[in-house]
Amino acid sequence: MARHPVPGFREGASSGQGSEAPSSFARGLIVSLRPQQWTKNLVVFAALLFGRQLANPLAVELAVAAFLVFCALSGTVYLVNDVADRESDRRHPLKRDRPIARGVVSPAAALAAAALIGATALVAAFWVGRTFGIVAVTYLVLLGLYSGPIKHAVILDVLTISLGFVLRAVGGAVAIGVPISHWLLVCTILLALFLALSKRRHELVLLAEDAASHRRILQEYSPYLLDQMIGVVTASTLMGYALYTVSPETIEKFGSDRLLLTFPFPIYGIFRYLYLVHQKQGGGSPAEMLFNDRPLLACVALWAVAVVLIIYQPVSF
């Protein structure tokens, strides 16, 4: 099957390397932490935004600390995952240049670094707050289990990835001491499922008949099944966000019913993402797609600006 690159998207970027594979241990270790994927941790700031705490310096400081903790924790998980998958990664067209798969970083060194970084992150998490520390431990345990048996369990694999996003959102809320909105949890898990299922589809289409030999869970999926799941989650995500914007709870909290005006942005963003997945064979790395596709990036930026303007300065018509 012919593959069409996403505009501005480099082949191999999703596996954490550029056009040249890292050759030194230090550089290889940094690449293995996948800093380009840390944008996923921005969901930590959702509670800061929707909790109307952007003007609170202490809340901003704690949210930034929570973000950094999750960056360290996610890097730890990536190290463990790459050690576990190093044999299959060597046969993968994109992942074979990952430092651990190439032998630039040894499994022992990677695990030692993971233990050190993970422990430091957990100490920092409990410094932020006891409840946040518990959330951080839960995240690390859950994603650690994903790197083991759960990644081979159909449906549970994508649900676990999605729950990781939910724990980030919960962590952001408990770190700054704002109530955890049920709407935040629902919209987060649905959007995360959308991204996880799209990534599975990308892997399946990219690897074609060799998919199961690279990741055996892929034999449990098919493009048709994933398209059905994506269709359900897409509709549910958009409906969930729409209901959130017009719910009495939301209108009372923000003193405005104008949040519905931001609804076109999620519609365009999700449709644009589907276009990239189906027409450009993208979806392998949501973070890379976001920053390399200008229309998608502009959509997210405009949505954020619109939300801030409406939430913090309700418009009267």
Both tokens assigned to 144? 């650690």
Both tokens assigned to 306? 């619109």
Q: What value does the mean pLDDT take over residues 155-176?
A: 93
68, amino acid identity? L
**First-to-final CA distance of the chain:** 53
Q: How far apart are CA 259 and CA 223, in angstroms?
A: 35
Mean pLDDT estimate for the chain: 85
Residue in this structure with the two tokens 């076109």, named with its chain if needed = 264
- Tell me the residue ranges of DSSP E strands in the chain: none
DSSP class of residue 38? Answer: G
Q: Is the pLDDT of residue 306 over 60?
A: yes
Residue in this structure with the two tokens 């493009």, named with its chain if needed = 223
Q: How far apart are CA 166 and CA 195, in angstroms?
A: 13
- 279 burial type by CB count under 10 A (0-12 exposed, 13-18 middle, 19+ buried): exposed
Positive or negative: CA dihedral 168, 174, 175, 178? positive
Task: Find the helix packing angle between 107-128 and 57-84, rounded to 10°.
Answer: 160
Determine contact, residues 204/218, Cβ cutoff 8 Å.
yes
Q: How far apart are CA 180 and CA 237, in angstroms?
A: 18
User: Which CATH class for the 24-179 domain?
Assistant: mainly alpha
User: How is the chain split into domains, by residue range?
Assistant: 24-179, 181-317
Residue 119's CB is within 10 A of a number of other CB atoms, namely 12
Q: What value does the mean pLDDT take over residues 170-189?
A: 92
Residues near 10 by Cβ (< 8 Å), separated by ≥ 6?
A: 18, 19, 288, 292
Q: How far apart are CA 55 and CA 262, in angstroms?
A: 22
Q: Is the pLDDT of residue 4 over 60?
A: no
Both tokens assigned to 12? 């191999």
Both tokens assigned to 58? 């202490």
Q: At CB < 8 A and 24+ separation, what contacts does 142-148 make?
A: 142/167, 143/73, 143/74, 143/77, 144/77, 144/80, 146/77, 146/81, 147/77, 147/80, 147/81, 147/84, 148/84
φ, ψ for residue 181 (rounded to 5)?
Answer: -75, 135
Question: Residue 69's pLDDT is what?
Answer: 96
Higher pLDDT, 44 or 99: 44
Q: What is the pLDDT of residues 207-247, one digit of tens each?
A: 766 655 566 777 888 889 999 999 999 999 999 999 999 99
Q: What value does the mean pLDDT take over residues 184-209?
A: 86
Q: Write out the H or E segment, with its range, that includes residue 265.
A: helix 264-279
Question: Residue 292's pLDDT is what?
Answer: 84
Question: Residue 135's pLDDT is what?
Answer: 96
- Least confident range of 2-16, 39-53, 63-77, 218-232: 2-16
